Amino acid sequence: MRKISSSPVRYFFTAAILAGTAIPASSADASDSRNPARRQPSENTMQQHPYLGMWVTDDGRVRHELLPDNRYDEARGSRESAYRGRYEVTGTHIEYWDDTGFTADGDFVDDNTLHHGGMVLRRK
């Protein structure tokens, strides 16, 4: 029987194991750090977003604030911060992910009107 310790097979497996330790756990992790287009928008960029700020129903019952860090805070009646979570705007469409797992969406029909959850909210 031939000894593996001096065979080319041993060298191949050793090289393969060592090469595997030099590769990042996720190629997406490595590319994101070098590709600014794939990173989350910075707070400075979001501060320029046209839909940031307070959105309120005509009766004032629902107050929905879009924050610059892609978070929102929604008050209902006398209950401040009734819903909180993150949001993402694509064009004129907005998707919400509440911290409790609830999801919702809406559409900006013009610069000052948001249709969300059967409600009409206006910029304040």
pLDDT digits (tens, 9 = 90+) for 55-96: 999 999 999 999 999 999 999 999 999 999 999 999 999 999
Q: Which residue has the higher pLDDT, 94 or 12?
A: 94
- Statement: the pTM of the whole predicted model exceeds 0.75: no
- The contacts of residue 111 (CB under 8 Å, 6+ apart) are 50, 123
Q: Which residue has the higher pLDDT, 28 or 86?
A: 86
Report H helices in the chain: 8-21, 27-34, 43-46
Q: Are strands 93-98 and 79-90 parallel, antiparallel or unpaired?
A: antiparallel
pLDDT digits (tens, 9 = 90+) for 95-124: 999 999 999 999 999 999 999 999 999 999
Lowest mean pLDDT among 4-13, 37-46, 53-62, 63-72: 37-46
